[in-house]
Structure 1
Amino acid sequence: MSEQVKLQALFGGTFDPVHYGHLRPAEALAAHLGLQKITLLPNNVPPHRPQPEASPAERVKMLALAIAGNPLFDIDQRELRRQTPSWTIDTLIELRKERGAKQPLGFIIGQDSLLTLHKWHRWQELLDYCHLLVCKRPGYAEQMETPEQQSWLDRHQTKVISHLHQQPAGLVYLADTLLLPVSATAIRERRHAGLSCEGMLPDEVIKWMDKQQLYPAKNSH
Structure 2
Amino acid sequence: MSDLHALFGGTFDPVHFGHLRPVEALAQQTGLARVLLLPNNVPPHRPQPEASPTQRVEMLRCAIEDRPLFAIDTRELQRDTPSWTVATLEALRAERGPQQPLAFIIGQDSLLNLSGWHRWQDLLSFAHLLVCKRPGYPAEMGSPEMQRWLETHLARDVAQLHQQPAGAIWLADTPLVDISATEIRRRRRAGLSCDSLLPAAVIDYIDRTGLYLK
Fold shared, TM-score > 0.5 on shorter chain = yes
CA distance in 1, matches of 2:190, 2:17: 20
- Give me the TM-score of the superposition, normalised by structure 2: 0.98
The Cα RMSD (Å) is 0.8
Q: Displacement, 1:69?
A: 2.6
1:78 maps onto 2:46 in alignment: no
Q: Displacement, 1:114?
A: 0.2
Moved over 6 A (4+): none
Which residue of structure 2 aligns with residue 89 of structure 1?
86
CA distance in 2, matches of 1:14, 1:189: 16
1:18 maps onto 2:15 in alignment: yes
User: Aligned to 1:160, which of 142, 148, 157?
Assistant: 157
Which residue of structure 2 aligns with residue 47 of structure 1?
44
CA distance in 1, matches of 2:14, 2:152: 36
Alignment of structure 1 residues 1-221 onto 2, 5 Å: 1=1, 5-216=2-213, 218=214
CA distance in 2, matches of 1:174, 1:186: 27
Code of the aligned partner of 2:175: L
CA distance in 1, matches of 2:200, 2:30: 28
Q: Displacement, 1:159?
A: 2.1
- Give me the TM-score of the superposition, normalised by structure 1: 0.95
CA distance in 2, matches of 1:208, 1:137: 28
Code of the aligned partner of 1:146: S
Code of the aligned partner of 1:142: A
CA distance in 2, matches of 1:56, 1:208: 14
Q: Displacement, 1:161?
A: 0.3
CA distance in 1, matches of 2:117, 2:15: 23
CA distance in 2, matches of 1:55, 1:204: 18
Q: Displacement, 1:6?
A: 2.0
Give the gaps of 5 or more residues in structure 1: none
1:62-89 CA deviation, whole Å, 9 max, x = no partner?
Answer: 0000000321100000000000000001
| SS of the residue 2:21 aligns to | helix
CA distance in 1, matches of 2:187, 2:156: 39
- Give the share of equivalent positions with the same residue, in percent: 64
CA distance in 1, matches of 2:5, 2:73: 13
